[in-house]
Amino acid sequence: MQFKSICTHLLALLLCVVLANQRALAQQQLESSRNIARAVITPSPAAAGIGTFGNTPVSYYTGTPDINVPLYNVNYKELSVDLALKYHQAIGTKPDAFPGSTGNGWVLNTGGVITRIARGATGANMPSNYPLPVNFNPTAAADWSSQTKMDDHLAKQTVFINQEGRYDEYAYNFAGYSGKFYIDHTDAFRIKTEQGEDIMVEKVVKMDTNFVLPTETQIAVPCGNFPYRDTLYQKYIVYKFTLTDSRGIKYIFGGDNASIEITRPGMELGIYDLSNQNPVPTSWYLTSIQSPNGYKIDLKYTRGKFYITNEISVFAKNMVPSKWMDIGNNAPYPPYIKSTMYNPCYLDEIITPISKVKFNWSIANQQLGYTFAPDCMNNTINGAVYFYAYPDVRTASIIGRFPNKLDNFVISNIVNSRMQKVEFTYTNSTSTRLKLLSVKFRGQSDLPQNVPTYSFAYNQTSLPAYLALKSDDYGFFNNNNTYTTSTDPNYYWNMFRDATARQNYLNSRAPNATYAKAEVLEKVTYPTGGYTQYEYELNQYGRIAKFWPATIAENAGGAVNTGGLRIKRISNYDVASHKATEKTYYYNKNYATGGTSSSGVLSFEPIHFLYFTGTVTAPKYYQGKPGESNFAGTMTFTQYSTDPLNVSNYRGNHVTYSEVAEVDIDGSYSIYKYKNYDNNYHDKPAEKMVVDNANVGDFWKEDEMNSMELERGQILSEEKFNSSNSIREKTEFQYNDDPNRFNTNVRRIKLSPNPMYSPNYPSIRYTATLVYTYYPFVKTLTKTTYESGGNLSSPVTRTYAANRLISSETTTDSKEQSVVTTYKYPNDYTDAVSVAMTGKHIISPVIETKTTVAGTQLKLVQTPYYSPSANIYVPQEVKEQNGSGALETRLQFTKYDAKGTLLEQQKPGDVKENFLWGYNSQFLMAKIVGSDFATINAAVNQSILDNAETSDLAVNSTLSATRNSLANSNPAAQMTSYARAQASIIGVRTSTDANGKTILYQYDNFGRLSNVSNAIGSNEPGSIRASYCYNYRGQPTDCSTMAPTGSIAASTPMLLGEDALPVTLINFEAFRQEKAAVLKWSTSFETNSDRFEIERSTDARTWIRIGTVSAQGESNENHQYSFTDFTPVLGRSGESENFYRLKMVDADASYTYSRIRNVSFGDNAQIALYPNPLTIGGKLNILADDVSNIVSIRIYNSAGKLVHQTKATKQIDTSKLAAGLYVVMITYTDGSTSSHRVAKQ
């Protein structure tokens, strides 16, 4: 068929525009009208699934639970790739959504992806000699949205060519970052995200690219007379994106052919798109993570064979007079299929300097597929989907086309020895969609068969075959297809023209709670045998967001059910099926006071039928021109579609909740309130809109305005109530409310025709809008604790710089004085190193922290950076100034290697600390105190440590020789060494302290710590110090052999000295601030660290976790941390002793503890005992304003026995006291007493 007979006038452009999928609602967005359905392009199900987490956030706001399975963390120094499964189908099942590579509803996060939402035509796919004006950048002018400019567009029917993706929207999701970026009117990239991360975006454009595709076997079908070829040509594409975070780490997307996913439209009603011009890159996968220090993690991909997905709909239109229509087009159509072809990418390997992850795939052909009629000579409903017009397909069979599924991935070390394996099992039936059944974790071999396993159970209601037209308005399964069953076009025409039949059809699109849950995940069973059950219910809304103008319409009849699901209840059970915890969710306004009104807001009302009759005038484009389109008079049109006619304006989740209550099993509950349409975060008016014949239909009222979606969904408050309905705590959030924030935006002009399906439009509309890209940061966070003696409120106000980094933090102390902490970064300085760091986008290191009270400086901390070698920027020292005192150096970092790894540090007046690293600077091999780098460097064979994977014997010999050499040259030097099994990425094999005592660590087949023992020699196990039996359900481990009785689920952790920590603590302090305890600590470097868990105790024996602070992972920089315990344990008189410690957890879940710190409350807090805890042989200091007020001091052990007694003194010798917990009783001259708990370790 000739292109010109199909694409005439404005329709020609719209048919060739590369757009998004109007049917896969939550995945992509349609830019223009529904009549261009056959040219719609989408990313693959796998790539689009990842993007779902940006469009439909996992939160109470959308009623979506966070269901994920952590699989493995690939890391090298500060670089990492989290491999994890996430489940997104808790929103409900859509029968025509094809499963991804890990089963229906599951998405495998393998690093990251950028997906494209294309907006507008490109120069490459515009027909030649196109008659309408073209404007490459209509938003560049200062008056871009003026009435004059907009009227001019309307008169000329200006077409906006999408030159270099200027109007495209790119969604990114990687490394915990998610958002979108755009190209603004100055051709600069702008990011749109509520996250506090300033990401720099760069792109590389490539011309004349040939993608080599897998060879397709040709079959004898007389379709087409052109030769087959195995390449796909692209005239102009964005070939690579580089996104750089605030640490200067570069994330590369694309850059090689196999990592760029290609999507193409298929045939529809005998029509195909222009050869070689309509294939569109829709996804760029993460290919490399590069440190500014010169090392990287690479991700390699393979190109898979094409596969096809289909969608079905019914549409028709009729216009009178027919001069508005092409001859033969003014008629209804039968059901038709739109198909999409994908050339997918599959991750093959992740490669680090010390490890490799290999992914193994197979074709997922044991699942339900589409029905195809491969005879291209017969244009049946299932026969209009072949791709014979594409030279790389031609006569290849389209039957049995499926994407690949992931079977397993294997983690190995650098010498290719297997460490772990993760397996995926699926359903194996051609009558059902692919579902993930389990994830199994194996060790260094495939034995034993019973291994730690996650298993998944789904709702037993079955989904129908594809293209069954059994969906509600939003695409969710409702098992109702009473009306759309005929192939007779007139059947649908008559049905929609009849008001009663039309209403019955609309009723058939109503949601169904039973079928919306079909095949949705309902149970996750964990390796321990415990499990979680999920219960869902239909979405409801109590009001509707209206547009043009922006208003809210309350439902007169109360809450209304709508499509999709929300979480109702999450229940957790132990291995014996005893319910451990349960949370139930209520989506009501004013829940705390008994409110029952739904807090849901509907943001999208589907329209299936439009009817207009009235007077129209000639559009401005035709005025004064001869021809049929220069028409004025009465016009009537009718149009209908099984796909909503207004789906082009659908954004994200169609229902969002302003208030959600989470009720615990004990009756206590929390209430979360969010920004939404109905509480002052509705869209703002567009900049300008012009239209011909505005009376022709009103579906344009669904058009975009200046959207406030950037702020909607942000939490406004969190309230915690006890089971007696008394509020205990409230946290309130106030955000960036600067009226000038809206000046940070991207300009857009959108062209829309009306009515749809018409080549000559009586109504054309241009809308000028803004996409806001400012940072909606938390300006003030106020936490209020409600107590019987009064409420404690602690507001914290923050300011931010243009690069999204915090500039200042302001609080108020007990004297109502302002406490201000300010921060400075590299871009605040003009020295050469800071300028160079800023140029590389290394902008987040804190160079200076200053705290003032009432305008007077309290403390200043500086961490200047320097460049010890080319392109390496690292901390040079830590300086502190207390009050107006001298600025003193507290720690110096005197030596780094070529990768920026710390080798030597020193505190003033103290001995030097040196570090030996191995495995390409990844793992700490030794810490040496009391020597210097030059001496150590002369003693060690660093090349053996750098290549430690080659020989355990060589590593052990090198460490031993280094120890002996230092003992001879500098007997005062103390060396603690850590050796690993050959190329082990699991953990330390041996640790040898300064006295030469060696501890041996043994691991089981799954890489888990099993025994800790005293070593015999250097590598043989001796007496066992601790054993660990994990005893997962079904796993053949005989725990009884490891303990006299029962099993050891988790032995008492060994308290290692801070020298052995993966985190080097510069300090850890705890102090009282009014009725709160403030903890502050800082680190000089971290390796493989994941988080700090803050634990509290009242007796230094029983500990509870009260909070968590994320760690840096891999860092050679100084970092400051803090945590405030607003609810310490207080006695009736307000006196108490609270103990605190840090549990420092690695990314591999191993951990150790810091020293313990204590905080006293009450009047007797004037007496301080220091240090607490005591170390062996230490002295206990009594810090008091006046020791003469003390009569006596008695110390009791945990059994209540008096072990020491003395008169008033400032210091007590505790060398004869054994390790343990003691109570110190102090008697004062006024007869009063106070007690203090002291731990000795």
Q: In this structure, what token pair is assigned to residue 1053?
A: 């952790």
Higher pLDDT, 1172 or 640: 640
Mean pLDDT, residues 326-350 taken together? 76
Q: Where in the chain do CATH 2.60.40.10 domains reside?
A: 1053-1161
Calculate what percentage of the chain has a pLDDT beyond 90.
44
Predicted confidence (pLDDT) at residue 481 exceeds the cutoff of 70: yes
Q: What is the pLDDT of residues 1146-1161, one digit of tens each?
A: 776 667 777 778 777 7
Beta-bridged to residue 244, according to DSSP, are: 200, 250
Predicted confidence (pLDDT) at residue 51 exceeds the cutoff of 50: no
Q: Does domain 1167-1241 have CATH number 2.60.40.1930?
A: yes
pLDDT at 163: 64
Beta-bridged to residue 311, according to DSSP, are: 338
Flag the least confident range among 43-47, 655-659, 1210-1214: 43-47
Q: Which CATH superfamily is domain 1053-1161 in?
A: Immunoglobulins (2.60.40.10)
Amino acid at 221: V
Residue 482's nearest CA partner among 512, 459, 446, 509 is 509
CA 861 to chain centre: 33
Band the pLDDT of 658: cuts 50, 70, 90.
very high
For the chain, how long is the longest CA-to-CA vector? Answer: 114
Q: What is the pLDDT of residues 927-984, one digit of tens each?
A: 999 999 999 999 999 999 888 777 778 888 899 999 999 989 888 899 999 988 766 6
pLDDT at 525: 93
Q: What is the pLDDT of residues 560-593, one digit of tens each?
A: 999 999 999 999 988 888 888 899 999 999 999 9
User: What is the H or E stretch that residue 968 is in?
Assistant: helix 952-969
Q: What is the CA radius of gyration of the chain?
A: 34
Half-sphere exposure of 150 (CA within 13 A, CB side): 21
pTM of the model: 0.81
Residue located via tokens 């009736």: 1132
Q: What angle do CA 919, 924, 926 make, to 5 degrees?
A: 115
Band the pLDDT of 414: cuts 50, 70, 90.
confident
Torsion sign over Cα 532, 538, 540, 544: positive
Find all residues with CB under 8 Å of 1041, minimum gap 6, and list them: none
Inter-axis angle of helices 499-508 and 489-497, nearest 10: 100
Half-sphere exposure of 553 (CA within 13 A, CB side): 15
Beta-bridged to residue 1160, according to DSSP, are: 1137
DSSP state string for 360-397: EEEE--SS--------TTS--TTTTT--TTSTTTTTB-
Higher pLDDT, 1003 or 43: 1003
992 DSSP 8-state letter = E
pLDDT at 270: 42
Predicted confidence (pLDDT) at residue 367 exceeds the cutoff of 80: yes
pLDDT at 179: 93
Euclidean distance between CA atoms 654 and 645, whole angstroms: 16
Band the pLDDT of 438: cuts 50, 70, 90.
very high
Euclidean distance between CA atoms 960 and 977, whole angstroms: 9
Q: What is the pLDDT of residues 892-902, one digit of tens each?
A: 999 999 999 99
Residue located via tokens 């400051």: 1120
Q: In this structure, what token pair is assigned to residue 414?
A: 């650098």
Q: What angle do CA 430, 431, 434 make, to 5 degrees?
A: 65
Amino acid at 959: L
Q: In this structure, what token pair is assigned to residue 1100?
A: 């230094």
When the pLDDT of each residue in the chain is averaged and rounded to a whole number, the result is 82
Q: What is the pLDDT of residues 879-919, one digit of tens each?
A: 999 999 999 999 999 999 999 999 999 999 899 999 999 88
The answer, yes or no, to whether the previous bond of 321 is cis (omega within 30 of 0) is yes
Q: In this structure, what token pair is assigned to residue 495?
A: 């049905």
Strand order in the sheet with 1220-1228: 1202-1207, 1190-1197, 1220-1228, 1233-1240
pLDDT at 24: 29
Mean pLDDT, residues 701-721 taken together? 91
Q: What is the pLDDT of residues 245-263, one digit of tens each?
A: 999 999 999 999 999 998 8
Mean pLDDT, residues 161-189 taken together? 87
Find all residues with CB under 8 Å of 1064, minimum gap 6, and list them: 1058, 1083, 1084, 1085, 1086
Flag the least confident range among 141-150, 366-375, 567-576: 366-375
Instruction: Tell me if 1222 sits within 8 A of 1100, measured CB to CB.
Output: no
Find all residues with CB under 8 Å of 1096, minimum gap 6, and list them: 1103, 1104, 1106, 1125, 1128, 1129, 1138, 1139, 1140
Euclidean distance between CA atoms 645 and 32, whole angstroms: 11
Band the pLDDT of 1126: cuts 50, 70, 90.
confident
pLDDT at 745: 96
Q: 1181 φ, ψ to 5°?
A: -95, 135
Residue 452's nearest CA partner among 80, 82, 72 is 72
Instruction: Tell me if 880 sits within 8 A of 871, measured CB to CB.
Output: no
Q: Where in the chain do CATH 2.60.40.1930 domains reside?
A: 1167-1241
Query: Residue 1058, SS3?
Result: helix
Torsion sign over Cα 1034, 1037, 1041, 1043: negative
Predicted confidence (pLDDT) at residue 1118 exceeds the cutoff of 70: yes
Instruction: Tell me if 550 sits within 8 A of 705, measured CB to CB.
Output: yes
Residue located via tokens 């680190």: 1083
Euclidean distance between CA atoms 411 and 443, whole angstroms: 9
Can you give the three-state secondary structure of 487-526, one letter per residue?
CCHHHHHHHHHCHHHHHHHHHHCCCCHHHHCCCCEEEEEC
Find all residues with CB under 8 Å of 1108, minimum gap 6, and list them: 1091, 1092, 1093, 1094
Euclidean distance between CA atoms 556 and 541, whole angstroms: 12
Mean pLDDT, residues 1105-1116 taken together? 83
Band the pLDDT of 324: cuts 50, 70, 90.
low
Q: In this structure, what token pair is assigned to residue 122?
A: 């490109």
471 DSSP 8-state letter = B
Residue 729's nearest CA partner among 689, 682, 787, 666 is 787
Mean pLDDT, residues 6-33 taken together? 30
Mean pLDDT, residues 1123-1142 taken together? 78
pLDDT at 145: 96
Euclidean distance between CA atoms 338 and 642, whole angstroms: 13
Find all residues with CB under 8 Å of 386, minimum gap 6, and list them: 223, 266, 267, 372, 374, 376, 393, 398
Number of residues assigned to the chain: 1241
